């Protein structure tokens, strides 16, 4: 074994360890930023190890440089321009890019051969043939499914009526059978037609499976697509003989599956029901909706009345939802929190696993506004604290605070873990209207005697609260001290 090969293996080993540490660090808000840096360093080392091992030609170096420059430029532009409200769409797009990369690698090896072809060996073994099929199949589904998920989140792609009927199952089964035929005939096919049948059928299957799924299930879909991209990458690792790609893809795939299960548990849904059943809010347009009828005991109040309650509160809990992200109100919320803390109020944020449009959406949103990590409290930890909470302010959340999930067996949400804000002494719900969430049902929280609705855009309401509290002199004395 040459020195260059040993060096390449050593770099790959270090990269795998750094990637494992990076993925582990992403599980906590406090370490997420540094963990992301470790993962990026791992990928950089992986590229370096591959270049050392393959020693590409001058022409290959040129293509590598062009690809690096284009990809890096797009990454910088995306990081600077994409708003927090569009982060779920961006994550879906990144998952799709990962799937497309694996797909292209497998197609290239299937058509032109890999490292064996360079040494004069044109036949492929069984492991490589199976890996090509898996990489093409999963990569194509990941790419097309991710593009559809991004389009649905953006509101570009509606949910066709036929996808809510049994017709879609027949279409998807037909596509799956076509993909299977292409996979089985691929090894003996010398024309390449089987490969393109597999690519086309798999791509259409990704569209067919993702198209019926509604906005409420998008956290699950994004987690699953993330797992798919890892599986496709691992399969591509077998195709090109990269141990690092195999290990990295397996870790990402496993992490995505675990996250998918966490999301399903948080929504009281099974993965089979999300993908093949009547999706929760499956026919609802992105952004929620539903009727405002059915409420008989609604109490509303102005920001001034809400501010008076906050003035005397000793403990306040904010519940962020997608409405907070849409209004871009995270900075106003942070300013309000600082004012309350200066007044001696204990402030925290209750985080539901599926609040927002992707796993961790609210954590990222609040981190952008420099909310202290220790104030972000997960659902299981914050629920026992609500009975001793003076004021809860719900900002753009709906189904995740519906008490019917605990007490009404006839509710579609029954059994879904929710934030038990109804146990607090006083609850203010900030919403534009009484419109239903993605479940399409009324929220029993709105009619409780301790609940008051504050209608309006989250940012406008929070700014109104800030103005009212300043007039009341909240935080001035202790802040000066």
Is pLDDT above 70 for 120? no
Question: Is 43's pLDDT higher than 80?
Answer: yes
- Is residue 284 a contact partner of residue 447, using CB atoms and an 8 Å limit? no
The average pLDDT across 371-380 equals 90
3 state SS of 315 = strand
Q: Is the pLDDT at 462 greater than 90, yes or no? A: yes
Query: Sign of the C-alpha dihedral, residues 192, 198, 200, 203?
Result: negative
Cβ partners under 8 Å of residue 215, min gap 6: 152, 153, 281, 284, 285, 286, 287, 288, 357, 438
The predicted pLDDT at position 438 comes to: 66
Could you please report the per-residue DSSP string of 336-364? Answer: HHHHHHHTT-EEEEEE-TTSSSSTTHHHH
Task: Indicate whether 278 pLDDT > 50.
Answer: no
Of 189, 370, 380, 399, which residue is the catalytic one? 399
Distance CA 153, CA 286 (A): 6
Residues 6+ apart with CB under 8 A from 441: 290, 402, 404, 411, 412, 413
Q: Is the pLDDT of residue 290 over 60?
A: no
Q: How confident is the model at residue 454 (pLDDT cuts 50, 70, 90)?
A: very high
Mean pLDDT (whole number) for 315-342: 93
**Confidence class of residue 117 from pLDDT cuts 50, 70 and 90?**
very low
Q: Is the pLDDT of residue 284 over 60?
A: no
Check if 189 is active-site: no
Q: Does the structure show a pLDDT above 90 at 297?
A: no
Share of the chain above pLDDT 70, in %: 91
Instruction: Look up residue 301 and give its DSSP letter.
Output: -
Q: In this structure, are residues 316 and 390 in contact, taking their beta carbons and an 8 Å threshold?
A: yes
| Per-residue model confidence (pLDDT) at position 215 | 64
Give, in order, the Cα–Cα distances in Å from 128 to each of 9, 50, 104, 110, 134: 21, 19, 15, 9, 10
In the predicted model, is pLDDT for residue 373 greater than 90? no
Instruction: For residue 192, give the nearest of 109, 260, 255, 128 by alpha carbon.
Output: 109
β-pair partners for 455: 431
pLDDT score at 475: 62
- Distance (Å, whole) CA 139 – CA 145: 10
- Averaged pLDDT, 340-351: 94
Of 309, 277, 319, nearest in space to 472 by CA? 309
- CA pair distance 309, 301, nearest whole angstrom: 11
pLDDT per position as a tens digit, 178-187: 999 999 998 8
Rounded Cα distance, 327 and 459, in Å? 6
pLDDT > 70? residue 216: no
DSSP 8-state code for residue 279: -
CA distance 436 to 447: 14
- pLDDT higher than threshold 60 for residue 15: yes
Note the pLDDT tens digit of each residue in 227-275: 999 999 999 988 887 777 888 899 889 988 888 888 787 777 777 777 7
> Residues 402-408: what's their mean pLDDT?
91
Helix (H, G, I), strand (E, B) or coil at 35: helix
Residue 147 has pLDDT above 90, yes or no: yes
Compute the distance between CA of residue 446 and CA of residue 296 in angstroms, rounded to an integer.
Answer: 10
Beta bridge partners of 377: 350
Question: What's the mean pLDDT when you consider all of the chain?
Answer: 85
How far CA 237 is from CA of 69, 93, 102, in Å, comes to: 24, 22, 9
Averaging pLDDT over each range in 122-136, 155-169, 194-208, which range is the top one? 194-208
Q: Is the pLDDT of residue 29 over 80?
A: no
pLDDT band at 481 (very low <50, low <70, confident <90, very high): very low
Residue 280 has pLDDT above 70, yes or no: no
Residue 121 pLDDT class (50, 70, 90 cuts): very low
- Strand intervals (E) in 336-450: 346-351, 376-378, 391-395, 426-431
């Amino acid at each position: 074994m040459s020195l260059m090969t040993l060096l390449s293996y050593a770099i790959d080993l270090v990269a795998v360890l750094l990637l494992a540490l990076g993925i582990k660090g992403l599980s906590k808000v406090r370490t997420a930023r540094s963990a992301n840096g470790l993962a990026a360093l791992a990928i950089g080392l992986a590229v370096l190890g591959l270049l050392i091992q393959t020693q590409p030609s001058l022409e290959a170096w040129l293509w590598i440089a062009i690809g690096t420059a284009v990809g890096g430029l797009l990454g910088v532009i995306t990081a600077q321009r994409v708003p927090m409200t569009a982060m779920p769409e961006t994550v879906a797009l990144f998952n799709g890019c990962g799937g497309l990369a694996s797909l292209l690698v497998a197609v290239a090896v299937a058509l032109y051969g890999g490292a064996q072809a360079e040494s004069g060996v044109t036949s492929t073994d069984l492991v490589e043939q199976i890996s090509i099929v898996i990489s093409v199949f999963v990569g194509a589904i990941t790419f097309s499914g991710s593009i559809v998920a991004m389009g649905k989140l953006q509101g570009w792609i509606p949910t066709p009526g036929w996808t809510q009927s049994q017709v879609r199952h027949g279409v998807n089964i037909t596509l799956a059978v076509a993909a299977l035929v292409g996979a089985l005939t691929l090894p003996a096919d010398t024309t390449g037609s089987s490969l393109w049948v597999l690519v086309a059928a798999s791509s259409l299957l990704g569209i067919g499976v993702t198209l019926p799924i509604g906005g409420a299930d998008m956290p699950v879909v994004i987690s699953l697509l993330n797992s798919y991209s890892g599986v496709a990458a691992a399969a591509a690792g077998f195709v090109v003989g990269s141990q690092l790609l195999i290990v990295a893809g397996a870790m990402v795939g496993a992490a995505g599956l675990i996250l998918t299960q966490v999301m399903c548990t948080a929504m009281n849904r099974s993965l089979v029901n999300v993908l093949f059943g009547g999706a929760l809010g499956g026919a609802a347009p992105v952004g929620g909706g539903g009727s405002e009828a059915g409420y008989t005991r609604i109490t509303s109040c102005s920001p001034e009345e809400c501010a008076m309650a906050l003035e005397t509160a000793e403990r306040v809990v904010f519940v962020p939802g997608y409405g907070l992200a849409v209004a871009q109100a995270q900075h106003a919320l942070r300013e309000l929190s600082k004012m309350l803390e200066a007044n001696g109020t204990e402030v925290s944020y209750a985080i539901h696993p599926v609040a927002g449009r992707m796993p961790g959406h609210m954590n990222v949103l609040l981190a952008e506004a420099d909310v202290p990590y220790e104030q972000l409290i997960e659902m299981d930890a914050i629920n026992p604290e609500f009975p001793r909470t003076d004021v809860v302010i719900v900002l753009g959340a709906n189904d995740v605070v519906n008490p019917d999930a605990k007490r009404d067996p006839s509710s579609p949400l029954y059994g879904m873990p929710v934030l038990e804000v109804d146990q607090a002494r006083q609850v203010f719900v900030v919403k534009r209207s009484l419109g239903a969430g993605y479940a399409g049902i009324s929220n029993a929280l709105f009619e409780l005697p301790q609940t008051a609705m504050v209608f309006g855009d989250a940012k406008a309401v929070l700014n109104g609260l800030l103005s009212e509290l300043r007039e009341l002199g909240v935080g001035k004395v202790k802040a000066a001290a």
